[in-house]
Amino acid sequence: MPSLSELPGEIKRKKFIKALRRLGFIIDRTGGNGSHCKITWPRTQKSITIQSKIRKDVLLYILKEIEQYSGVTWEEIKKEL
């Protein structure tokens, strides 16, 4: 798991979601509330809500959830960005 200093300042949600889709996540734009969207890991059916602006602290939380539910690491996501 990366530290806060290793993460980018702000990442574009569209780019982040495309990377997750390439790694096998299911993206549901209607599943979130307002400007949020929901990503689901198909093997476990666990989902995470992603807000429109992804700051460092939020990204760290999302990455922890993704790694816990799916085993996909930040390094794998970074390669797809």
Task: Report the CATH number at residue 20.
Answer: 3.30.920.30
Query: Does any domain span residue 31?
Result: yes
Query: Does any domain span residue 37?
Result: yes
Query: Does any domain span residue 5?
Result: no
Strands 37-41 and 46-50 come out as: antiparallel
* Residues spanned by the domain of 23: 10-55+70-80
pTM listed for this prediction: 0.85
From the list 27, 30, 31, 55, the residue with the least C-alpha distance to 42 is 27
As for how many domains the chain has, the answer is 1
Going residue by residue through the chain (81 aa), what tens digit of pLDDT does each one get? 777 778 887 788 889 999 999 999 999 877 667 788 899 999 989 998 888 888 888 899 999 999 999 999 999 998 998
